Amino acid sequence: MSVTVQARPYEFTLNPQQAALVIIDMQRDFVEPGGFGDALGNDVSQLRACIGPIGAVLATARAKNMLVIHTREGHRPDLADLHGSKHRRGRFATRIGDAGPMGRILVHGEVGHGIIAELSPIPGEPVIDKPGKGAFYATDLETILRARGITQLILAGVTTEVCVHTTLREANDRGFECLVLEDGTASYFPEFHRMALEMACAQDGIFGWVAPGAAVISALAHT
């Protein structure tokens, strides 16, 4: 049964059986001091606002037996999957693979690489490790979605204009209908957050839809 989500630029027809909540990179490395986001010179406290709204949608998605997928940006301990261009970019003192207060920056298995406790995956929820910004690049995300008959994605996580937007664009070109949670995403730059959301739904939905988490929750209440 499909339900109607009040969204921009117009209503989104959500079919929970064919939809997945994709929570992007809600890792300590981005959200907590001493991680990758911090090493890039950002105020990581900017990202905390999206945790509560994501948690609320996550609880509803689980209650409604929707597929929930988590992603983590990171690299193998030997950095074999890290492009030199990504490693070298920027003039930062601390780089990917270097030791930090939460372990080696953006490396699989380190404390900083883990998803924050508030949004921890539970058994049965696929966790996708991705070396790039987009969740489809060099991962099995598309295979998992197609195998489950998923055609719609609700996108949440960080950062709005980087990994969320890259994934939105990748998903759009692969034929998935996407809705971005406006309060379930965040950026180190508030104006980039706002413009990334505008870009997503401009031109009558060039990439998809945008809505607050509460709109998704109230629509799902009818299922």
Residues with active-site annotation: 25, 130, 163
Per CB under 6 A, contacts with ligand TIU among 22-41 are 25, 30, 40
What is the per-residue DSSP string for 80-130? TT--HHHHH-S--SS-TTSEEBTEETTBTTSGGGSBPGGG---TT--EEEE
Q: Give the residue with the Cβ less far from ligand TIU, 60 or 159.
A: 159
- Taking CB under 6 A as the binding criterion, the range among 88-96, 148-156, 157-165, 176-184 that sits at the site for ligand TIU is 157-165
Taking the complex as a whole, how short is the minimal distance between the CB of residue 12 and ligand TIU, in angstroms? 24
Give the Cβ contact number of residue 140 at 10 Å.
12
Taking the complex as a whole, how short is the minimal distance between the CB of residue 192 and ligand TIU, in angstroms? 8
| 158 counts as binding ligand TIU under rule CB under 6 A | yes
Sign of the Cα pseudo-torsion (176, 182, 184, 188, in order): positive
Q: What are phi and psi of 116, to 5 degrees?
A: -60, 150
Taking the complex as a whole, how short is the minimal distance between the CB of residue 35 and ligand TIU, in angstroms? 10
Q: Which of 46, 60, 152, 159 binds ligand TIU (CB under 6 A)?
A: 159
Q: Which of 32, 38, 73, 129 binds ligand TIU (CB under 6 A)?
A: 73
Per CB under 6 A, contacts with ligand TIU among 91-120 are none
- Taking CB under 6 A as the binding criterion, the range among 3-11, 51-59, 92-100, 155-163 that sits at the site for ligand TIU is 155-163
Taking the complex as a whole, how short is the minimal distance between the CB of residue 22 and ligand TIU, in angstroms? 12
132: closest CA among 185, 173, 73? 73
**Alpha-carbon gap, residue 59 to 131, rounded angstroms:** 28
Site string for ligand TIU, 41-70 (x = CB under 6 A): ------------------------------
Angle between helices 190-205 and 165-173 (to 10 degrees): 20
**Alpha-carbon gap, residue 86 to 162, rounded angstroms:** 14
**Alpha-carbon gap, residue 49 to 187, rounded angstroms:** 10
| 185 counts as binding ligand TIU under rule CB under 6 A | no
Taking the complex as a whole, how short is the minimal distance between the CB of residue 37 and ligand TIU, in angstroms? 6
What is the per-residue DSSP string for 17-79? GGEEEEEE--BHHHHSTTSHHHHTT--GGGGGGGHHHHHHHHHHHHHTT-EEEEEEE-B-TT-
Residue nearest ligand TIU by beta-carbon distance: 163
Which residues of the chain form contacts with ligand TIU (CB under 6 A)? 25, 30, 40, 73, 133, 158-159, 162-163, 188
